[in-house]
Copies of this chain bind each other. A is one copy, B any other.
Amino acid sequence: MAADPTRPSRAEQRRQTEARILDAARRLFAASGFDRTTIRAVATAADTDPGLVMRYFGSKDELFARVAELSPDRPVAGSPEEVAELLLTSLADKLSTDMSGTLAMLRSMLTHPDAGEEVRVAVTEQQRQVAAAIPAEDAVLRAGLIGALTLGTVIGRHLLQLDGVRDAEVTDIVEVLRPAVHAIAGVGPAPEAAGTPAS
């Protein structure tokens, strides 16, 4: 019944509290978006005080900027076929990873101007790279539509939770989407009928 032999130091205590706040913020922003998530709710969920949240993170906007993040897309390049495969791998990441930080951003992208811009910039950058690899007049459009397909799939799975998409295996989704991505990228049918083609 003695007191804890290793009581956390003050610095450690603070780190834990900050972490609890960040976790709660990520979760609530992802679940309800920026506007409907209140500092008070974050504080309650983190079992602390609104004042502390402000003192540690400055403002609601700064807290949001801290936890809402798009995991950076890896650069894509090569032949259209290679680019398509890289995009499918990238999509697989987005469908499997935890992503609550990303979901916070995506959830708010249609109503929070900053979040919308951030998503737009990220998609546009990937679009630019993809377009550069597609030999066609309408390369930008094609790349943009691949971005739209990606975005729609992530939204459908994680935010709208569409039947069949919500619970599907990531590999199955990629399988179904492979010929579609290849088609939009302007290449012929998928390299192989089924299974991820080896090297």
Interface residues of A (CB under 8 A from B): 32-36, 106-111, 116, 119-120, 123-124, 127, 131, 138, 140-145, 147-153, 155-157, 159-165, 168, 172-173, 176-177, 179-181, 183-184, 189
Contact = CB atoms under 8 A, between A and B. Distances in A.
Main secondary structure of the interface of A (DSSP, over half): helix
A177 B131 CA distance: 16
A126 to B, nearest CB: 11
B148 A165 contact: yes
A156 B160 contact: no
Contacts of A156: 123, 144-145, 147-148, 151
Given A108-B111, A127-B164, 19 more contacts: A33-B111, A35-B36, A107-B111, A109-B160, A110-B111, A110-B155, A120-B161, A120-B162, A123-B156, A138-B164, A141-B176, A142-B176, A145-B153, A147-B152, A148-B156, A149-B149, A152-B153, A180-B180, A180-B183
